[in-house]
Amino acid sequence: MKTLLILGAGTGGTIVANKMAKKLDPREWQITIVDNDERHIYQPGLLFIPFGTYTEADVLKPRKPTLNKNIRLLQATVDHIDHASKKVKITPRTAPAPGAAAPSDNPQSEIRNPQFELPYDQLVIGLGCDIAPEETPGMKDGGKWHKNIFDYYTLKGALALRDALKNFQGGRLVLNICEFPYKCPVAPLEFVFLADYYFKQRGIRDKVQITFVTPSSGPFTKPVANAKLSGMFAEKNIAVEAYFDTHEVDSENNKLICYGEAGKNREVPYDLLVTIPVNKGADVVGRSGMGDFSNYVLVTETTQSADFPDVWAIGDAANSKATKAGSTAHFMADIMTENLEAFIHGKPMPKKFDGHTNCFIESGHGKALLIDYSTTQEPLPGKYPYHLVGPCTLLGDTRINHWGKLAFRWLYWHMLLPGRWLPISTKFRKSWPHYKEAK
């Protein structure tokens, strides 16, 4: 019996596991997936928690029901990957007895079983990436973390921010992006748009100054989308502080600091800071000698590791040059599973990933944009996914796009995670008719 071992049961790992369960003979292959949390978090939903649109129950589901019955799920921490001997050392977690309290605020018990090793024939790394606020001096060590400095990329942070926004009566609300890349590249845009709408609904928008702080030249890195979004920022009176590298947070005086030459630092004051901290891949990738300086696994266009032929990486865990969006994991999973199946059977790998990504961007007032692009191609106007009827409009701020964003939660649980077919190409089709109008 051979083993396909998948580390991480997030979006990418779950899709790959479910798709491969349909491709591999269970009499010949055991598919094992390892994750340290028994719950699956719908990460796009975290954005809506601070504004009271979603609750904790809307974004959490037990992990086991999301997996094919032939997949073995191990709840454990991954400690080390020995790619030379093709073994992974893990430490299983033991659930607390009914009614017993976990020894920390983590809903998962910290009680550990002894370590043991899992051999593999093929390894998929889907351990994602996490925020690392400790990488920026003063952000977490200044004593203001989750007091007036918040993230919303974690459930704990999103819930804390919900309470802070509810009690915010006015002042300087600053959102800052520390550095690229980070997961869900449009989420910061969505946050400031939704904040604008939220404060208008509360009748205090005129008392809130919203500033978007970014290392980039504007709201988005792709020029076509940047032009569209810059206009929307101006219309909504959202200021942009561009080319700002957040080197330090002066949490005592509520300031972001960007170091300049000859001591001429730039500063952005805030009353409430919403931050996109530095993002890093899983520590185990780095200490196992399999990642770059940020612990991401370098992969080729086939999604196979550039250095280890029996290793693959998916979604946020991969350095694929593509953005770290949820749709990237979806498209990579489609590419990976076809290539992995071919590789296992000694055939040429048929697919290449071009960095195709599409994202809904909530803009408030019951509307949203949709952008579709790749590593080398700009987002362009038109209809999506069908060039004549859409129903979604690319680079258009519409109600249908908003409903598409909300409908995606159902699609995520019932279509995407199970690995079912969706009528969306994994390849960016710049030759599709709906792109011709942009020429």
272 and 157 share one domain: yes
Flag whether pLDDT at 102 surpasses 80: no
Residue 288, in any domain of the structure: yes
CATH code for the domain of 123 = 3.50.50.60
233 located within any domain? yes
Note whether 329 and 363 are same-domain residues: no
Q: Domain boundary at 276, 292, 325, which?
A: 276
Domain-located, residue 351: no
Alpha-carbon distance values, 413 to 9, 159, 216, 310 (Å): 13, 22, 34, 29
- Identify whether 243 is part of a domain: yes
The two structure tokens encoding residue 132: 């690392």
Query: For residue 151, what are its two tokens?
Result: 């993230």
For residues 150 and 270, state if they share a domain. Answer: yes
- Mean pLDDT, rounded, for 216-244: 94
To the nearest whole percent, how much of the chain has pLDDT over 90? 84
Do the domain assignments include residue 15? yes
**What domain count does the chain have?**
3
Domain membership flag for residue 374 = yes
Whether the per-residue pLDDT at 438 is higher than 60: the answer is no
Q: What is the pLDDT of residue 426?
A: 87
pLDDT, position 428: 84
pLDDT of the residue at 113 = 66
Q: Which residues pair with 298 in a beta bridge?
A: 319
Point out the domain boundary residue: 239, 256, 276.
Answer: 276
pLDDT tens for residues 134-177?
999 999 999 999 999 999 999 999 999 999 999 999 999 999 99
* 147 and 269 belong to one structural domain: yes
Residues spanned by the domain of 380: 357-438
Q: Which burial class, exposed, middle or buried, applies to 41 when counting CB atoms under 10 A from its CB (0-12, 13-18, 19+)?
A: middle
21 and 39: one domain? Answer: yes
Statement to judge: residues 207 and 266 lie in one domain: yes
* Structure confidence at residue 94 (pLDDT): 64
Residues 226 and 157 in one domain: yes
| Domain final position from 344, 366, 386 | 344
Could you tell me which residue, 335 or 385, shows the higher pLDDT?
A: 335
Judgement on whether residues 75 and 189 belong to the same structural domain of the protein: no
Share of the chain above pLDDT 70, in %: 93
Residues 227 and 201 in one domain: yes
Strands 87-92 and 116-119, by their bridges, are: antiparallel
Identify whether residues 179 and 250 lie together within a single domain.
yes
Residues 6+ apart with CB under 8 A from 437: 381, 382
Residue 70 belongs to some domain of the structure: yes
In a domain, 154, yes or no: yes
Pair (144, 240) in one structural domain:
yes
Instruction: Kindly state whether residues 257 and 363 are assigned to the same domain.
Output: no
